[in-house]
Amino acid sequence: MSKRWKFGLATICLILILVQVCFMMKPLNQNTLENKPWNNVKPIKPSTNRRKQSILYGQDEFSSQLPKLQHTFSPEPVEYAKLREKRRLAIKRSFLHGWNGYKTYALGHDELKPLTNKTHDPFGGWGATMVDALSTLLVMNLEDELKSVIDHVQRIDFNVDEDVSVFESIIRYLGGFISAYDLSDQKYPILLTQAQRLANVLLPAFDTPSGLPTHLWNPARNMSFYQDTLIAEAGTVQLELMMLSQFTQNPIYMQKAQAITDLLDNMDYGHGMYIRGLYPTSLDVEKGRFRDDTTTFGAMGDSAFEYLLTDGKIPQYGRMYLDSIRSMKQHMLRQIPGYDMLLLPPYDTFRQKAENSMDHLTCFVPGMLAMGSKTFNEPEDMDIAKGLLETCVFMYRTTKTGLSPENWYISEIERYNPITYNKTRAELERARDWWYDDGEIPTVQKTKNKPTTEYDINYKLPPVRSRPPSLFFGDERYILRPETVESLFILYRITGDQKYQEYGWEIFQAIDKWCKTKSAFAAFQNVDSDIEIPEDNQIDSMESFLYAETFKYLYLLFSSPNMISLDKFVFNTEAHPFVRRHWHWA
């Protein structure tokens, strides 16, 4: 090819390239895109104007694998919203009153003594109230308060030369760290770091022949002199350790927890397990068997059953939970003649004999049963939940202070019978006399559920009945316990019935009236006393669960139902919420 032709071809190519570039740089006329086949396919771009949803409302993309738990609430009238908000803020102010007293006189210590303003350190001296309150600070939108103590959190040294409770350390500290890390949208890495440091200090306590952790552990000496534990302690580590494994991607924590569950799952008569699903209270960590015969859903047993439901979407845990609840209904549950109330007393599984008492700790059971009823489609369990909760509320409403005692006794009780419970004498007589009529066995009609009340600003609770003659109080203290308000919160979120809010408001007012001190809140000596001056009946004690649980559940009872929804969060036994997620193991 001649140089002339080569030059001419190069010139033409250059001109074509320039024309194409000019065309590409020219703005497109939108009309030229009309009626094109790709016109309806538009790229999805993230909105720069969309405000990120608070983590307190869960994850947008999360879709629960469980049945829907929460009631579908109708739109809230303005007047009722004002009333609810007024109550919510009153609860928040009371929380801040106690929190500021703790910060002033006891920050960094486990507890404030609210009458003398001295300190008390029963949980390692690591700041139990401070750590227990972290998740509540975030729930109440008080993140600046969390920031004000984060340096104290960072300085906690877990290698103390004293015996600490493995159980309390896990539910209060480990649960508190992980929940606050989660609820703060993981903004404070020190919270996860401290959780892992604490877990690593406690892990050797699980290195027993059975895999059951010892009751107490000395971190500095790396040893324990104890060879026993409680079922509540062994069965209430799974959620926290599983969460820690998920966040750190280190499976060792979950493996320790799962080994305990597998051990309990395989226990039989030879291990002291006399009734399937009813775990006695005391365990020998060396032999891996039970040391007594008594099962209780109250002190020393409670949260082990709760955690079977908490992890209930795992088939093994769900099966174990259902076994426990079915055996509980068959053997333990009692009804109170003439009252729409139920009793859940301790039970000797060997002699198959129930006691006639119940403690305040058992009052978490209504909330557990209500969630279990929805999770596993067990309608009867919802009726039982309501009956037990009425008993717990009754213990508040029938005292002179409106506060509940620690425990109570009822001598006249009957074995629970779903056919006779909550039925009138006339209904039972008609059922009993069926053979005198047409020979057909009638069914006792279930009492119709009363319609629930929603958003009534003039709502009044019905008067409370007098106590049965056979009922009397044992320990008459109220130590700021949360279990009843926990169940009120859950039953309200599941049923939408306003009466549970009203019950909760009565309890809050009683706490504020009788337990409030100049610096914080105090336990109460005698809930049925005639003493009119609160200070004369107060105890110089204030446990950290007041800030982790009692105030949190009361606050959430009067918050928007979408906030910390039961469908998007799961609570540990210390009321520390964790965001529900779909976890994927490597």
**Residues recognised as catalytic:** 168, 302, 406, 483
The pair of structure tokens assigned to 68 is 């829907």
What is the distance between the alpha carbons of residues 21 and 33, in angstroms, rounded to a whole number?
20
CA angle centred on 170, ends 169 and 172, rounded to 5°: 70
Taking alpha carbons only, the member of 355, 342, 318, 313 closest to residue 422 is 342
Residue identified by tokens 């405000």 is 51
The pair of structure tokens assigned to 181 is 């890390």
Which 3 state secondary structure label does DSSP give 269? helix
What is the distance between the alpha carbons of residues 483 and 135, in angstroms, rounded to a whole number?
18
Taking alpha carbons only, the member of 434, 554, 441 closest to residue 506 is 554
What is the distance between the alpha carbons of residues 194 and 189, in angstroms, rounded to a whole number?
9
The neighbouring-strand residues paired with 290 are: 283
What is the distance between the alpha carbons of residues 395 and 423, in angstroms, rounded to a whole number?
22
Is 573 annotated for ligand binding?
A: yes
The neighbouring-strand residues paired with 49 are: none
Per the CB < 8 A criterion, the answer to whether 410 and 356 are in contact is yes
Q: How many residues does the chain have?
A: 586
Would strands 282-284 and 289-290 be described as parallel, antiparallel, or unpaired?
antiparallel
Per the CB < 8 A criterion, the answer to whether 191 and 153 are in contact is yes
What is the distance between the alpha carbons of residues 173 and 578, in angstroms, rounded to a whole number?
14
The pair of structure tokens assigned to 319 is 């099966």
CA angle centred on 423, ends 419 and 427, rounded to 5°: 90
What is the distance between the alpha carbons of residues 229 and 237, in angstroms, rounded to a whole number?
13
What is the distance between the alpha carbons of residues 319 and 529, in angstroms, rounded to a whole number?
45
The pair of structure tokens assigned to 92 is 């928040």
What is the distance between the alpha carbons of residues 409 and 411, in angstroms, rounded to a whole number?
6
Q: Which residues are annotated as a binding site for Ca(2+)?
A: 573
Q: Which residues are annotated as a binding site?
A: 573
